[in-house]
């Protein structure tokens, strides 16, 4: 036994000598990072050190200094370790991030220097590569074998970040494919398109064959990318026109829970000025009809293309939803859509839940609602969490609905973020803190671990521009007071520094409307939570 111990000790001394002795030139080692985009995932790699090394991979929201190992802690999103000299960055990680690699030996001794930071946004060589990659993909095809009616539904893939779209109808294929300028063959155009579909009216055009393409626009109407490829539309003028909205919300994909307050979205139909959404507790008995179902349990009439359910869907069961257009007189303007389906089972999702206002509920980039999963931070969490958020909530209304909305789930962990609407509306920080403290106490009384999330700042100028709403003066001081309270809690995820620019506000690239983080912001939220989750749940 003593001999074995002596041999082991001698072996470890030899390894230590190798690690600290610079025999392999490790003191001069500095990884040179390379990256390439493969199947929508970034793969970073670097030269392997001759001596066995554990590589530390750090992700930053802002570039770290180039002359040392230290970095401002609030800039580090997360850290990974690997024995390999490559790492795959999944596409659910924020795109606007910086990455750095350093090496350490078997005794955790630093080997050499960290790499220079690598920006994912600068990986492609072409200056306009990112711009040209923002190109919608057409998903509706009409041919001689499958012609369109005079009012076809034109659809395409969602372009992340597009606030609205421009659809161009052409007499013949464009002379500038995948460009940014209108075609000389344009015969009709619409910019009033806020979803990834358009019910075109081709009845008055003197053509039996037309072409079309689409591009995304930002809030100010500037191109977000280039026009899509061009698609041909063969028209059968004798085909019957039956206006039917096309639903775009799919629930329970890959076993995900239905949000407590679901939102429903669809592509509008020509001739409708408003819509009616219907929820049933059985599959509707009258498909391809325009009359209400006898299984109806809830309905709502509204304008637009998204409906926020006002009732918490807590009662276990399987439900269906559909939508129909209405004319100016409130009469049906076509048929019901195909029904969508969702399941409710609170007892199935008891591990974690998220509780808050519209930032928690989902949506962003002005035109996207909680029905668009890419704009929900829960989509990017490394664990399953049921969404108990409700848009327009204040800290006070969160407290008032806690027993009704949280206790049926009785989650082990509750991620809580609230108070933004209160503070920007002029409610004092002391009132918000009182409500959040009461929510914390209610959690503890029922064996729920409250995990608070600090409040990101807002951008009053963008809020006024998009929503026409003014922000209470002194909001930064009030936000700071609430966040100071939250940072003193036992379980807290401090995301606020990552969302704060030099002016102490929410930067445009994280939230177009100055309030709701967009896709990059939601990925960033989830990435920070994921990085801290193991410690929060110990």
Residue 224 is predicted with a pLDDT of 87
Query: What is the average per-residue pLDDT within 35-51?
Result: 83
Q: Which tokens sit at 45? A: 């790699």
Cβ-contact 122, 63 below 8 angstroms:
no
Give the model's confidence band at 189: pLDDT under 50 very low, under 70 low, under 90 confident, else very high.
Answer: very high
Residues β-bridged to residue 54: 104
Give the model's confidence band at 160: pLDDT under 50 very low, under 70 low, under 90 confident, else very high.
Answer: confident
Taking the C-alpha atoms of 89, 93, 96 and 100 in order, what is their torsion angle to the nearest 10 degrees? -40
CA–CA dist 404, 314 (Å, integer): 9
DSSP secondary structure string for all residues of 6-37: HHHHHHHHHHHHHHHTTTT-GGG-----EEEE
Q: Which tokens sit at 427? A: 């409610």
Give the model's confidence band at 168: pLDDT under 50 very low, under 70 low, under 90 confident, else very high.
Answer: very high
Residue with more model confidence, 35 or 453:
453
Share of the chain above pLDDT 70, in %: 90
Give the model's confidence band at 334: pLDDT under 50 very low, under 70 low, under 90 confident, else very high.
Answer: very high
Kindly tell me the number of DSSP H helices and DSSP E strands found in the chain.
Answer: 10, 26
Judged against a pLDDT cut of 50, whether residue 127 lies above it is answered with no
Residue 125 is predicted with a pLDDT of 47
> For 441-477, how does the pLDDT look when each residue is reduced to its tens digit (9 = 90+)?
999 999 999 999 999 999 999 999 999 999 999 999 9
Q: What is the mean pLDDT of the chain?
A: 90
Q: Which of 433, 441, 455, 477 is nearest to 356 (CA)?
A: 455
Residue 414 is predicted with a pLDDT of 98
Cβ-contact 57, 102 below 8 angstroms:
no
CA–CA dist 103, 110 (Å, integer): 6
Judged against a pLDDT cut of 90, whether residue 39 lies above it is answered with no
Cβ-contact 523, 374 below 8 angstroms:
no
Judged against a pLDDT cut of 80, whether residue 18 lies above it is answered with no
Q: Which of 493, 488, 521 is nearest to 368 (CA)?
A: 521
Residue 281 is predicted with a pLDDT of 97
Cβ-contact 201, 150 below 8 angstroms:
yes
Lowest-confidence region among 60-69, 108-117, 224-233: 60-69
* pTM attached to this predicted model: 0.88
**In angstroms, how far is CA 299 from the centroid of its own chain?**
28
User: HSE (CB half, 13 Å, CA atoms) of 297?
Assistant: 16
Q: How many Cβ atoms are within 10 Å of 96's Cβ, its own excluded?
A: 16
Residue 91 is predicted with a pLDDT of 74
CA–CA dist 116, 195 (Å, integer): 41
Residue 129 is predicted with a pLDDT of 52
Residue 7 is predicted with a pLDDT of 55
SS3 300: strand
Residue 122 is predicted with a pLDDT of 72
> For 361-378, how does the pLDDT look when each residue is reduced to its tens digit (9 = 90+)?
999 999 999 999 999 999
Residue with more model confidence, 468 or 91:
468
Give the model's confidence band at 242: pLDDT under 50 very low, under 70 low, under 90 confident, else very high.
Answer: confident
| Cα torsion 343, 347, 351, 352: sign | positive
Q: Which tokens sit at 387? A: 């969404």
Judged against a pLDDT cut of 80, whether residue 20 lies above it is answered with no
Give the model's confidence band at 408: pLDDT under 50 very low, under 70 low, under 90 confident, else very high.
Answer: very high
Give the model's confidence band at 194: pLDDT under 50 very low, under 70 low, under 90 confident, else very high.
Answer: very high
Cβ-contact 235, 207 below 8 angstroms:
yes
DSSP secondary structure string for all residues of 218-266: -TTS-BSSPPPPPEEEEB-TTSPP----EE----SGGGPPPPSS-EEEE
Judged against a pLDDT cut of 50, whether residue 126 lies above it is answered with no
CA–CA dist 327, 272 (Å, integer): 5
CA–CA dist 275, 324 (Å, integer): 6
> For 344-357, how does the pLDDT look when each residue is reduced to its tens digit (9 = 90+)?
999 999 999 999 99
Domains by residue range for the chain, with CATH = 2-122 (2.60.40.10), 131-234 (2.60.40.10), 242-346 (2.60.40.10), 349-538 (3.40.50.1110)
SS3 276: strand
Cβ-contact 297, 338 below 8 angstroms:
no
CA–CA dist 148, 530 (Å, integer): 47
Residue 9 is predicted with a pLDDT of 58
Query: What is the average per-residue pLDDT within 117-125?
Result: 73
Query: What is the average per-residue pLDDT within 101-120?
Result: 83
């Amino acid at each position: 036994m003593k001999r074995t111990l002596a041999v082991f000790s001698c072996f470890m001394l030899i390894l230590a000598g190798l690690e600290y002795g610079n025999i392999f030139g490790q003191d001069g080692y500095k990884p040179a990072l390379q990256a390439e985009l493969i199947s929508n995932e970034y793969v970073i790699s670097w030269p392997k050190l001759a001596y066995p090394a554990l590589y530390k991979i750090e992700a930053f929201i802002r570039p770290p200094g180039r002359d040392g190992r230290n970095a401002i802690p609030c800039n580090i999103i997360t850290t990974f370790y690997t024995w390999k000299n490559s790492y795959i960055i999944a596409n659910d990680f924020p795109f606007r991030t910086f990455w750095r690699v350093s090496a350490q030996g078997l005794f955790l001794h630093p080997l050499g220097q960290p790499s220079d930071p690598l920006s994912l946004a600068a990986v492609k060589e072409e200056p306009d590569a990112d711009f040209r990659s923002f190109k919608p993909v057409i998903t509706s095809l009409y041919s001689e074998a499958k012609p369109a009616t005079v009012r076809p539904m034109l659809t395409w893939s969602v372009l992340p970040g597009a606030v609205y779209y421009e659809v161009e109808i052409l007499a013949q294929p464009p002379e500038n494919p995948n460009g940014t300028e209108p075609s000389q063959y344009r015969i009709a155009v619409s910019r009033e398109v806020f979803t990834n579909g358009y019910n075109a009216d081709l009845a008055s055009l003197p053509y039996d064959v037309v072409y079309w393409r689409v591009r995304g626009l930002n809030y100010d109407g500037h191109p977000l990318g280039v026009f899509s490829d061009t698609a041909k539309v063969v028209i059968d003028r004798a085909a019957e026109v039956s206006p039917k909205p096309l639903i775009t919300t799919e629930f329970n994909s890959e076993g995900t829970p239905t949000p407590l307050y679901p939102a429903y979205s669809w592509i509008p139909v020509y001739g409708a000025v408003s819509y009616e959404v219907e929820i049933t507790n059985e599959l509707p008995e009258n498909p391809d009809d325009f009359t209400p179902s006898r299984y109806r349990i809830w309905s709502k009439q509204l304008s637009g293309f998204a409906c926020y359910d006002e009732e918490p869907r807590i009662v276990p069961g399987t439900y269906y939803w559909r939508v129909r257009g209405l004319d100016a007189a409130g009469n049906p303007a076509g048929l019901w859509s195909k029904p969508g389906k969702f399941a409710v089972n609170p007892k199935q999702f008891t591990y974690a839940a998220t509780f808050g206002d519209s930032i928690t509920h989902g949506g962003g980039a002005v035109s996207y609602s909680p029905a668009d999963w890419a704009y929900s931070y829960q989509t990017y969490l490394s664990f399953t969490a049921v969404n108990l958020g409700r848009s327009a909530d204040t800290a006070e209304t969160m407290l008032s609905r806690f027993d009704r909305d949280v206790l049926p789930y009785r989650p082990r962990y509750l991620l809580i973020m609230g108070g933004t609407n209160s503070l920007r509306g002029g409610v004092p920080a002391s009132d918000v803190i009182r409500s959040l403290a009461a929510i914390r106490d209610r959690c503890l009384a029922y064996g729920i671990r409250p995990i608070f999330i600090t409040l990101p700042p807002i951008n009053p100028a963008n809020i006024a521009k998009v929503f026409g709403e003014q922000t209470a003066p002194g909001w930064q001081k009030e936000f700071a007071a609430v966040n100071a309270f939250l940072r003193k809690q036992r379980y807290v995820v401090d995301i606020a520094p990552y969302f704060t620019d030099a002016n102490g506000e929410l930067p445009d690239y994280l939230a177009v409307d100055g309030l709701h983080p967009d896709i990059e912001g939601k990925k960033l939220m989830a990435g920070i939570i994921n990085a801290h989750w193991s410690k929060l749940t110990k």
